[in-house]
Amino acid sequence: MESEVLVVLDMKTMTNKAAFDEYILKEGFKSVENEPFAYIGVSTTPVFNVIAYIFEVFSKAFETAGVEECRLICQIGSHPPAIYIYKKDEFFTALK
């Protein structure tokens, strides 16, 4: 079963957005028109696997683009949105 995936980012600084977008697009996400930090994709894997993939892809993109800290909101299919915070030296932590 396919699930639509939405990832929205909230951050203060990014030193190289072009490199970030290039990496994200290469990994199968598409930019949402008129939304500079919103990305969509489609998955056919279980939610847990999708979250792990999102963490892997976006953490590498954050490193590439010089992001120190970012809030990441993701919604997978009909599941409620989840909010995580990324910190360079701590990876991702769920916000309650």
- Domain residue limits, the chain: 3-94
Class of domain 3-94: alpha beta
How many angstroms separate the Cα of 4 from the Cα of each of 13, 19, 49?
27, 24, 14
Instruction: Round to whole Å and give the CA distance between 29 and 32.
Output: 9
Q: What is the DSSP letter of 65?
A: H
Residues of the chain with pLDDT under 50: none
Can you give the pLDDT at residue 80? 93
* Amino acid, single-letter form, for residue 55: F
pTM of the model: 0.91
